[in-house]
A and B are shown apart, each in its own frame.
Chain A
């Protein structure tokens, strides 16, 4: 019995240790890496991925998965690019509302129609990416110079710190607050760790799940808006390469794929690990497509290492 808690504690600390080792190795190889300016650049590169993964964290914590988050980010980037010339700043709330509605749709299909979340969200991803291709005519919509002034809150910086880093920090604090202090945060943890007990304790399980999916959709839309800002364009396939790293960030950080354990702090570490690994691979010269191979393998390894087989004898 005594070995179990210490193993669990090791598992808890492992992602942070791994990140520290990664940073140390890269710093030894290229001392410039640890320069404050470069580190801020790493954080800025992490920001979008982290915001997407933050939303995913809510869904995974309740024991679900969202395979539509990246398409919601793409659609959001298109919405921003299309509406910025006419609505100005109003384009951003519209994009977030579209993300919220898409997440809500996934959640309602999953809960009310009793469709497993991976199927419900897979279907939603088809719907959402189809809409994104339709409204954009399957083209990249670039944001002209006039629109770019309204992207300053994304592309600018405050006292040398990139704005996206500050936005990601705000998302982190908000998510940490929701998970720790709201009834929704508490209940979703209980649902992930023991849904029958949560249900038999009078928790309205379906409602909490729908909230989680809606939150995930909203944050995915925010991630899409940030991407549109950084690239000065909206593209219907913009988020396609982001789903795998986003799920990997959550799991590598140490949130259980089965739900009920973990949180936003772990996702932050996971997203940093994924970004540092990517930067490291780019530096070493690994092809960008080969990087997806690595993320896929990393995800498999992270799930295989962290899943607790004593509690889940049969995995479907």
Chain B
């Protein structure tokens, strides 16, 4: 049906995919699992025609094909249901299903609504839905929208006279369990007319739905097996690849944290995202929060930096009860934030390294209330030296730096601001191995000097390797607090037990 032969793709120095061979058979559901950064999304984007491989080829029914865009993929009968839903909320279900094909439903040059709705009803019936085609998408539940997406992917049948391949990229991340069951039932029922590639973070779902499973790690396929022979621990073992190796995370440099608490949360809660969260962060501690998508950990750390205030509970920072209504409040209280979207929220890419270094701590280079440019440059130079930032000078724009060095400038910004608490939101995302090691080294270093860190990491391996203490969250609640002292690190299965 669909296969890839020797696919490779690099982004700069980062090898995202390396020699990928996969096969999707007729009527088969193929599961694709791997940690964040393993290359699943890149592979899906290539199958969808959104990106082109550097090397290797795609074959459809044995014929080599070239996909220059999503439209091309559609012509080859490859449809997509992406995690970020692609429906237009302000339009009706029927209009969404036939977006861009309105010409097929015109009478006297005007759109014939009855004809459009009749065709829409037919499409919806394929996925077992009786939604009113005239309803606006914004009025639908998430599960119904997902069904509409699926129906939309199936409209390819009208135009392509071969079996479809439908890519499901994290389709369950916004769904409740009952809705997931409905979706899975539909996918199974549709196997007669289409094959599926299914990506999910939830391994149990992949096991439940797939016929065959590929395991990815660091841009390569590290395992392939029938679902019947797989299990959650086995898949996880393969995704992680090897046991912990303390040297990588510099466990020998992990010092016990001080006794004084710098941040205490009691009964923190926010809408449906999370509730009843208690946590205590000590000076010099790395407190890692583990959890799958939807566990509430992402929302929790954004609350602690003032992006979205909590509805309930109290927050105490450096001994004072505070209400943080904006990042500016959090920064004023000594909290810094290293975002996952480093190029958007971390740095002003077009401005110089020096300017970015003082973005949060401009007062430190002011003299009588005015910016002292000479002092600013000197400060930037000293951070360039101390953090070993590879650049030819502080006046160059941050866009001239590699990802790892950009991340160091973000760190320098908070160290310059004197933040005693750092929130690290996936700090190694998109970095290559060498740059990751540098980040780990710097985390150890700042903690040894008394900075406290709240970490949400890309992988469990990283979570365990770096943390003093691990909070595990599931469905918005803290399900476990696990000690991770050097030499006595928990195993990944110990965490997974509380995550899923």
Query: Is A101's CB within 8 Å of the partner chain B?
Result: no
Q: Quote the shortest CB–CB distance from B300 to chain A (angstroms).
A: 17
Q: Say whether A197 contacts B330, CB under 8 Å.
A: no
On whether the beta carbons of A189 and B345 are closer than 8 Å, the reply is no
A181, A182, A200, A261: the one within 8 Å of B327 (CB): A200
A190, B360: Cα distance in complex, Å: 11
What is the distance, in angstroms, from A175's C-beta to the closest C-beta of chain B?
15
Residue-wise interface mask of B (352-368) relative to A, using a CB-CB cutoff of 8 A (1 in contact, 0 not): 00010001101100100
When each residue 174-197 of chain A gets 1 if its CB lies under 8 Å from chain B and 0 otherwise, what string results?
A: 000000111101110110011011
Counting CB contacts under 8 A, is B339 at the interface?
yes
Find out whether the CB atom of A187 lies under 8 angstroms from the CB atom of B362: yes
B328 within 8 A of A: yes
Contact B348 A200 (CB under 8 A): no
Are the C-beta atoms of B371 and A202 separated by less than 8 Å? no
Judge whether A89 is part of the interface by a CB distance below 8 angstroms.
Answer: no
Known: A197-B345, A197-B346, A200-B327. A190 touches B355 (CB 8 A): yes
> Is B349 part of the binding interface, using a Cβ–Cβ cutoff of 8 Å?
yes
Q: How far is the CA of A27 from the CA of B408 in the complex (A)?
A: 54
**Closest A-chain residue to B344, C-beta based?**
A196
Inter-chain contact A202/B350, CB cutoff 8 Å: no
Contact A203 B328 (CB under 8 A): yes
Q: Is the CB of B348 within 8 A of A204?
A: no
Complex: A85 Cα to B339 Cα, angstroms? 60
Please measure, in the bound complex, the distance between the C-alpha atom of A183 and the C-alpha atom of B369, giving whole angstroms: 8
Complex-state Cα separation, A193 to B397, whole angstroms: 12
* Contact call B344/A197, Cβ cutoff below 8 A: yes
* Cβ B348 vs Cβ A182 within 8 A: no
* Contact B328 A204, beta carbon cutoff 8 Å: yes
- Least Cβ–Cβ distance between B78 and chain A, in angstroms: 24
User: Complex formed: what's the CA distance from A196 to B345 in Å?
Assistant: 5
Query: Size range of the interface on B?
Result: 20 to 34
Considering the chains assembled together, what is the distance between the CA atoms of A193 and B343 in angstroms? Answer: 12
Cβ of A10 under 8 Å from chain B? no
Q: A181-B370, A181-B371, A183-B371 are in contact. Are A202 and B332 (CB under 8 A)?
A: yes
Decide yes or no whether B326 CB sits under 8 A from chain A.
yes
**Is A197 touching B359 in the complex (CB atoms < 8 A)?**
yes
Kindly identify which residue among B332, B345, B363, B373 contacts A200, using a CB–CB cutoff of 8 Å: B345
The answer to whether B337 has its CB under 8 Å from any CB of chain A is yes
Residue in B closest to A204 when the chains form the complex, CB atoms: B328
Contacts A201-B359, A202-B328, A202-B330; A182 near B413 (Cβ below 8 A): no
Within 8 A of B (CB), among A110-161: none
In the complex, whether B93 has a CB less than 8 A from a CB of chain A is no
Q: For the complex, is B232 an interface residue (Cβ under 8 Å from A)? A: no
Query: Which of these, B328, B350, B360, B363, contacts A194 with CB under 8 Å?
Result: B350
How many inter-chain residue pairs (CB < 8 Å) link A and B?
74
Q: Does B351 have its Cβ within 8 Å of any Cβ on chain A? A: yes
Contact call A261/B360, Cβ cutoff below 8 A: no
- Note all chain A residues with C-beta closer than 8 A to B349: 193-194
Which chain A residue shows the least CB distance to B332?
A202
- Closest partner residue, chain A, to B417 (CB atom): A202
State the CA gap A204–B306 with chains docked (Å).
12
A interface, size bucket: 20 to 34
CB-CB contacts of B479-498 with A at 8 A, as 1s and 0s? 00000000000000000000
Once the chains are docked, how many angstroms separate the CA of A153 from the CA of B305? Answer: 52
Complex alpha-carbon distance, A200 and B371, angstroms: 21
Chain A: minimal CB distance from B343 (Å): 9
| Interfacial chain A residues near B347, Cβ < 8 Å | 194, 197
Flag if A200 contacts B339 (CB, 8 Å): yes
Question: What residues of chain B lie closer than 8 Å to A260, measured between beta carbons?
Answer: 348, 350-351
Residues of B within 8 A of A180 (CB): 371, 373
Chain B residues with Cβ below 8 Å from A193 are 348-351
Of the listed residues B345, B346, B373, the one surrounded by the most CB atoms of chain A closer than 10 A to its CB is B345
Q: For the complex, what is the distance from the CA of A189 to the CA of B351, rounded to whole Å?
A: 9
In contact, B366 and A204 (Cβ under 8 angstroms): no
Contact of B337 with A194 in the complex, beta carbons under 8 Å: no
- Contact of A83 with B by CB under 8 A: no
In the assembled complex, the CB of A61 is this many whole angstroms from the nearest CB of chain B, namely 12
Docked-complex contact A203 and B345, CB < 8 angstroms: no
Contacts of A26 in B (CB 8 A): none
CA gap between A153 and B359 in the complex, in Å: 41
Contacts of A199 in B (CB 8 A): 326-327, 345
Say whether A303 faces chain B, with CB atoms less than 8 Å apart: no
CA distance A204 to B328 in the complex (A): 6
Taken together as a complex, chains A and B put the C-alpha atoms of A197 and B346 apart, in Å, by 5
Question: With a CB–CB cut-off of 8 A, which chain A residues contact B380?
Answer: none
Measured CA separation A196–B341 after assembly (Å): 10
**Contacting residue for B348 out of A181, A183, A194, CB 8 A:** A194
Q: Closest Cβ of chain A: how far from B426's Cβ, in Å?
A: 14
B331 on the A face (CB < 8 A) = yes
Closest to A189 in B: B351
**Which residue of the partner chain B has the closest CB to A182?**
B370
A260 to B413, CA, bound (A): 19
CB nearest neighbor in B for A1: B400
CB of A198 closer than 8 Å to a CB of B: yes
Interface centre among A186, A197, A261 (most CB of B within 10 A): A197
A182 CA to B371 CA in the complex, in Å? 6
Nearest CB in chain A: distance from B277 CB, A: 22
Distance in angstroms from B324 CB to nearest chain A CB is 11
In Å, the complex CA distance between A23 and B348 comes to 38
Per the bound structure, the CA–CA distance linking A187 and B370 in Å amounts to 12
Measuring CB to CB, which residues of chain B are less than 8 angstroms from any residue of chain A? Answer: 305, 326-328, 330-332, 337, 339, 341, 344-351, 355, 359-360, 362-363, 366, 369-371, 373, 413, 417
Having A183-B363, A201-B331, one finds 4 other A-B pairs with CB under 8 Å, namely A185-B371, A193-B350, A194-B347, A201-B359
Nearest 8 pairs between A and B by C-beta?
A202-B331, A194-B348, A200-B345, A201-B359, A201-B360, A181-B370, A202-B328, A193-B348
Can you list 12 contacts pairing A with B, beta carbon distance less than 8 Å? A183-B363, A185-B371, A186-B371, A190-B351, A193-B348, A194-B344, A196-B345, A197-B345, A198-B348, A200-B339, A202-B417, A203-B360
